[in-house]
Amino acid sequence: MRPGPAWLGSVSASQWRTLVAAMLGWMLDAMDVMFYAFALTAIRAEFSLSAAAAGGLASVTLLTSAIGGIAFGILADRIGRARSLVWSILIYSVFTALTATAHSLVQLVLWRSLVGIGLGGEWAAGSVLVSESWPAAHRGKAIGLMQSGWAIGYIFAALLASAILPAHGWRVLFAIGVAPALLAWWVRRTVPEPEIWRRAERGARLGFTALFRPPLVRNVAVATTLTSCLLFAYWGLFTWIPAYLASPVASGGAGMGVVRSAGWIVPMEIGAFFGYVLFGVLADRFGRRPVFLTFVLAAAVLVPVYGQMGAQPVALMALGPLIGFFGHGYFSLFGAMLAELFPSSVRATAQGFCYNFGRAASALAPFVIGALADRHGIGSALALTSAFFVAAGGLMLLLPETRGEELQ
C-alpha cells in the first residue's frame, strides 16, 4: 500500500520532474524580480528617485514582462514548452546579474526591461508545460504547487536582502541573480515536451488571430480583463509592501527598517505558500469559480485593514500570513483554468496573451500606488487595490466552470 494521498500514485516520475522544473523556474523568477522590491529604498537613495519614479521603474519591468510573456506564449506553441522555458530562465538570470552594473538611470531601465522579457516568458512556458503534462483530475494541485514556488522565491529574496543589503549593498544582491542559469541546463537535459503538444504540432495549427474570432474571442476578452484587474491589485500591493514595512511612520509606513521588516515578510510568504497549494486542492474538489471568489473577496477586505496598521508590529505579524494566503493563492487559478479554456495548438499563445496583456495593464500599478503614497502615505495608498480584487471577482462569474476538463 502506497503511503500518502492516493492520487500521488497516479502521477509519473516524468510528470513530477516537469512540475519541479516549472516550480523552480517560477521560484527563481520570484527571487529575481523581488530583489528590486527589497532594494527599492537603496536604489531610490543612490539615484535620487521619488516614490513615483521608483514605482515607474518597476512598471517598466512589468511592461516588458508582458511583452516577453506574449512572445514566449507564441514561441512555446512553435518550438515547444520545455525549450521555451529554458530560454526564458537564461534571459532573466543573465540580465538580473547585469543590473548590478548599472551606474545611471538609463542603464537601470535597460537591464530591468530585459529582465522583464525573461520573467514574463517563464510563466507562459512553464504553466502550459505543467497543465499539459499532468492528469486533469490533479491539474489544479499541480499548478498550485508550481505557483507556490513564487512564495519560496519571495522568502529567499527577503532573507538574502536582509543578509546582503546592509553589509554589501544592492549590487551584490543583483549579481546573485545569475544563479538560475544553472537550472536551464538541467531542464534542457531532463524535461520532455508534453505528448499533447507533440500531437498538436502534427495537426492543424491555429494562428494568433484566432484569439480574436469566435469561438475563442469571448473567453479571451473576459480572461484578459480579469487578469488585468487582478494583476493591478497584486503588483500595486506587493511591490510596495516591503517599502511599507521599512518606511518611517511619518511616510505612512510601519517604521521597521529593511533588516527588521524581513521578519514580517517571511510569515506572509509562508501564508502565500499555503494559499497557492490549498487553492489548487480546493479548486480540484469544489471548482475554480467558488474558490477564486472566496480568495479575492477576502483579500479585498483584509488589505485596507493591513495598510492602516502602521507601527503595530504584533498586529502586522498576525495579519501578514492572511494577506499572503488570500493575496496570492488565487494565482493558482490561471495556469489551470486558462489551459482548460483553449485548444492545444493555440493554448500557450492564448494563455500568454491573456495573462500578459493583463500584466501590461497592471504595469501602471506600482506607479499609481507610488504617486498616491507621495500624497497620502504608503499604507493608505495600498487600500486602492481592494477595488481591483472585487472587480476580478465579478468578472470570474462570466467565465465557465472548467474543473475536470480534459484538454483538447
The pLDDT value given to residue 239: 80
Confidence of residue 203 (pLDDT cuts 50, 70, 90): low
> Could you give the CA distance from residue 103 to residue 352 in angstroms, rounded to a whole number?
33
DSSP 177-242: GGTTHHHHHHHHHH-PPPHHHHHHHHS----GGGGGSTTTHHHHHHHHHHHHHHHHHHHHHHTTHH
Mean pLDDT of 62-79: 88
337-361 pLDDT, tens digit per residue, is: 888 888 878 888 888 899 888 878 8
- Cα distances from 313 to residues 256, 265, 310, in angstroms, run 8, 12, 8
> Could you give the CA distance from residue 325 to residue 203 in angstroms, rounded to a whole number?
41
238-296 pLDDT, tens digit per residue, is: 888 887 887 777 766 766 766 677 778 888 888 989 999 999 899 999 999 999 999 99
- Cα distances from 322 to residues 5, 235, 269, 325, 333, in angstroms, run 26, 17, 10, 5, 18
Mean pLDDT of 333-339: 83
Would you kindly state where each structural domain of the chain is located, as residue ranges? 13-195+204-396
Confidence of residue 2 (pLDDT cuts 50, 70, 90): very low
The pLDDT value given to residue 1: 35
DSSP 258-317: HHHHHHHHHHHHHHHHHHHHHHHHHHHHH-HHHHHHHHHHHHHHHHHHHHT--S-HHHHH
Q: Is the pLDDT of residue 63 over 70?
A: yes
CA atoms within 13 A on the CB side of 268: 26
Question: What is the amino acid identity at position 372?
Answer: L
CA atoms within 13 A on the CB side of 128: 39
> Could you give the CA distance from residue 110 to residue 60 in angstroms, rounded to a whole number?
9
The pLDDT value given to residue 6: 58
11-52 pLDDT, tens digit per residue, is: 788 899 999 999 998 888 888 878 887 888 788 888 888 877
Mean pLDDT of 147-152: 87
Confidence of residue 312 (pLDDT cuts 50, 70, 90): confident
Omega before residue 400 within 30° of 0, cis: no
The pLDDT value given to residue 3: 44
205-222 pLDDT, tens digit per residue, is: 667 888 888 889 999 999
Question: What is the amino acid identity at position 87?
Answer: W
> Could you give the CA distance from residue 333 to residue 295 in angstroms, rounded to a whole number?
11
> Could you give the CA distance from residue 183 to residue 86 in angstroms, rounded to a whole number?
8
Higher pLDDT, 181 or 292: 292
Q: Is the pLDDT of residue 4 over 80?
A: no
* DSSP three-state, residue 10: helix
Specify the DSSP class assigned to residue 209.
G
How far apart are the two ends of the chain, measured CA to CA in Å? 34
Contact assessment for residue 319 and residue 305, using Cβ atoms and an 8 Å cutoff: yes
98-147 pLDDT, tens digit per residue, is: 999 988 888 988 998 999 899 888 888 888 899 889 888 888 899 899 98
Contact assessment for residue 9 and residue 2, using Cβ atoms and an 8 Å cutoff: yes
* DSSP three-state, residue 20: helix
Higher pLDDT, 325 or 403: 325
Confidence of residue 179 (pLDDT cuts 50, 70, 90): confident
Mean pLDDT (the chain, rounded): 85
The pLDDT value given to residue 245: 83
- Cα distances from 290 to residues 279, 287, 296, in angstroms, run 11, 6, 10
Helices then strands, each counted (H, E), the chain:
18, 0
Strand residue runs (E) in 176-266: none
The pLDDT value given to residue 28: 86
Top CATH class of 13-195+204-396 equals: mainly alpha
> Could you give the CA distance from residue 280 to residue 180 in angstroms, rounded to a whole number?
26
> Could you give the CA distance from residue 385 to residue 265 in angstroms, rounded to a whole number?
19
> Could you give the CA distance from residue 395 to residue 233 in angstroms, rounded to a whole number?
14
> Could you give the CA distance from residue 187 to residue 362 in angstroms, rounded to a whole number?
30
375-405 pLDDT, tens digit per residue, is: 887 778 888 899 999 999 999 999 988 887 7
Phi, then psi, of 89 in degrees rounded to 5? -65, -45
The pLDDT value given to residue 332: 83
